[in-house]
């Protein structure tokens, strides 16, 4: 140890920062987490808590540009871009649109799937190895369709998933009706992914925080980063509202806020905040047996023993934290088209949060191309919960100079060295 506050100073106490802390602590490294709010209280809080290798196909798919343009005409559509002058967003959208081709889609999909599969296995090991009370269930996952045409079209992704070893089966209308009584009559069918799982995200992050503290990690909540000191070795110190903090290595795990802080260090990283919404209820009497995506409406449904959540949508409106009633209502309307009981008896929370969206749908994992002691673990898009354990393992291995379980090259921050 040097005179630093910790061997690794982690900026951000969401699921990514907590997972990285756990794996570093398990390797004997000292860790201090700086979190401006409460641990797990931002994007880690209100998502649907699914662990889904099935979501490996990137959002930037062939034909997506035309679909996105049609959706943009409606504020209630799954994708909404708030009209405004935002040059950074325009550059991001153009770069993403250029990736809507088969070659880039395949390359990103293979890398995304590898990380999701690694993380899915590690999360289950972590839950049972550390006895985490977080409602984990290896329940599988359904993509549900009302339209036979949409069901057939979705099957184009199955060869890519099969290439990665991700199993899937197609259920016809009768098989789906028998399997999932919570659905209304008239569904066309579903694609079932038996390897997917779910957990309660707020409990998972709370349990990770417990494990980190029990292992000797320090978590400072309510502490905001206000600036940086740069020097010969990179980031010499981090300034906060509670004073100066130092680490031999500094890990930026700030999610959608990462670009703002990275810019203070001379880094430009291609992340845009993608706003997602969810509504949480008490559990209805007839709840789905496993997580669902109601595909034509892009609504995710998750039920736990003590709750029920509708979530999803993607809104590009900068860092506007206003709850958009139109988009919340779209979740409920979409669920009503598929579910016998689309809402629980009591509404507990309406929520929005920002996902850190990368142009290639892959996170930034590894050393900064400009600062020798600055590391990045950000840009996980909609998959932060599902990629967290794998991210923690990769970051710990790279910091220790060890080969991770999967090739880390597709996630290297240096791939955007031209922008950084």
| DSSP H helical ranges for 27-86 | 64-71
Which pLDDT score is estimated for 417?
A: 54
pLDDT band at 60 (very low <50, low <70, confident <90, very high): confident
Mean pLDDT of 74-98: 84
Q: Taking residues 206-217, what's their average pLDDT?
A: 98
% the chain with pLDDT above 90: 80
Encode pLDDT of 122-139 as tens digits.
Answer: 999 999 999 999 999 999
Residue 81 confidence (pLDDT): 81
Would you say residue 187 has pLDDT above 50? Answer: yes
For the stretch 318-336, pLDDT in tens is: 999 999 999 999 999 999 9
6-44+203-270+361-416 carries CATH number 3.50.50.60: yes
Q: Domains of the chain: which residue ranges?
A: 6-44+203-270+361-416, 56-97+136-197+272-358
Mean pLDDT (the chain) is 93
Dig out the tokens for 369 from the structure.
């191309």
pLDDT band for position 48 (cuts 50, 70, 90): very high
| DSSP category for residue 381 | G
How are beta strands 79-81 and 169-172 bridged, if at all?
unpaired
282/344 Cα distance (integer angstroms): 5
Q: In this predicted structure, what is the pLDDT of residue 313?
A: 81
62-66, 113-117, 255-259, 269-273: segment of lowest average pLDDT? 62-66
Question: Burial level of 343, CB count in 10 A (0-12/13-18/19+)?
Answer: middle
What's the pLDDT at 1?
42
CA-to-CA distance for 198 and 409, rounded, in angstroms? Answer: 28
Q: Report pLDDT for 71.
A: 66
Q: What is d(CA 393, CA 115) in angstroms, rounded to the nearest whole number?
A: 10
For the 56-97+136-197+272-358 domain, the top CATH level (class) is alpha beta
**Model pTM score:** 0.95
pLDDT of residue 63: 76
Instruction: Give DSSP secondary structure letters for 189-232.
Output: EEEEETT-EE--HHHHHHHHHHHHHHTT-EEEES--EEEEEEET
Does position 418 have pLDDT exceeding 70, yes or no? no
Tokens at 402, concatenated = 């060890």
Looking at residue 420, what is its pLDDT? 39
Relative orientation angle of helices 102-129 and 384-399, to the nearest 10 degrees: 80
Distance CA 13, CA 35 (A): 5
Q: What is the dihedral of CA 413, 415, 418, 420, to 10 degrees?
A: -10
In sequence order, what are the residues at sequence separation of 6 or more whose Cβ sits closer than 8 angstroms to the Cβ of residue 2? 248
pLDDT band at 188 (very low <50, low <70, confident <90, very high): very high
Degrees, nearest 5: CA angle 5-7-10: 80
Q: Are 234 and 166 contacting, i.e. CB atoms less than 8 angstroms apart? A: no
The kind and range of the H/E element at 271 are strand 271-281
| Strand ranges across the sheet with 364-367 | 218-221, 31-35, 6-11, 247-252, 374-378, 364-367
Residue 130: burial class (beta carbons within 10 Å; 0-12, 13-18, 19+):
middle
pLDDT tens per residue across span 363-387: 999 999 888 999 999 999 999 999 9
pLDDT attached to residue 76:
73
Q: 276's torsion region: left (phi>0), alpha (psi -120 to 50) or beta?
A: beta
* Per-residue pLDDT band at 73 (split at 50, 70, 90): low
Q: CA-CA distance, 38 to 371, in Å (whole number)?
A: 28
């Amino acid at each position: 140890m040097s005179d630093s506050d910790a061997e690794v100073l982690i900026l951000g106490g969401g699921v990514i920062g907590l997972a990285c802390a756990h794996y570093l602590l398990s390797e004997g490294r000292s860790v201090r987490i700086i979190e401006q709010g409460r641990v797990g209280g931002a994007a880690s809080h209100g998502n649907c808590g699914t662990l889904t290798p099935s979501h490996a196909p990137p959002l930037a798919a062939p034909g997506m540009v035309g679909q996105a343009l049609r959706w943009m005409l409606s504020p209630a559509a799954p994708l909404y871009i708030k009209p405004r002058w935002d040059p950074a967003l325009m550059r991001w959208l153009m770069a993403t649109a250029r990736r809507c081709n088969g070659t880039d889609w395949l390359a990103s999909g293979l890398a995304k799937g590898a990380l999701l599969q690694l993380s899915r296995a590690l999360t289950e090991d972590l839950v049972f190895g550390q006895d985490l009370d977080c409602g984990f269930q290896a329940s599988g996952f359904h993509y549900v369709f009302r339209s036979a045409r949409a069901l057939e079209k979705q099957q184009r992704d199955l060869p890519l998933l099969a290439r990665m070893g991700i199993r899937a089966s197609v259920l016809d209308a009768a098989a789906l009706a028998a399997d999932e009584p919570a659905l209304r009559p008239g569904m066309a069918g579903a694609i079932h992914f038996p390897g997917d799982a779910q957990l309660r995200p707020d409990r998972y992050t709370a349990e990770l925080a417990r494990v980190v503290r029990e292992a000797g990690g320090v978590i400072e909540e309510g502490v905001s980063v206000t600036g940086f000191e740069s020097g010969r070795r990179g980031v010499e110190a981090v300034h906060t509202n509670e004073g100066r903090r130092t680490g031999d290595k500094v890990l930026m795990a700030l999610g959608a806020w990462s670009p703002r802080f990275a810019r203070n260090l001379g880094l430009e990283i291609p992340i845009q905040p993608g706003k997602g919404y969810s509504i949480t209820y008490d559990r209805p009497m007839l709840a789905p047996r496993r997580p669902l995506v109601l595909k034509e409406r892009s609504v995710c449904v998750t039920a736990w023993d003590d709750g029920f959540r509708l979530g999803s949508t993607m809104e590009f409106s900068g860092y506007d934290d206003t709850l958009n009633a139109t988009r919340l209502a779209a979740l409920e309307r979409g669920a009503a088209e598929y579910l016998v009981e689309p809402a629980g008896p009591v509404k507990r929370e309406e929520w929005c949060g920002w996902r850190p969206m990368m142009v290639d749908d892959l996170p930034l994992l590894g050393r900064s191309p400009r600062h020798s002691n600055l590391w990045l673990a950000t840009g996980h898009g909609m998959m932060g919960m599902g990629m967290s354990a794998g991210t923690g393992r990769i970051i710990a291995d790279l910091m220790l100079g060890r080969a991770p379980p999967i090739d880390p090259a597709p996630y290297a921050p240096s791939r955007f060295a031209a922008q950084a």
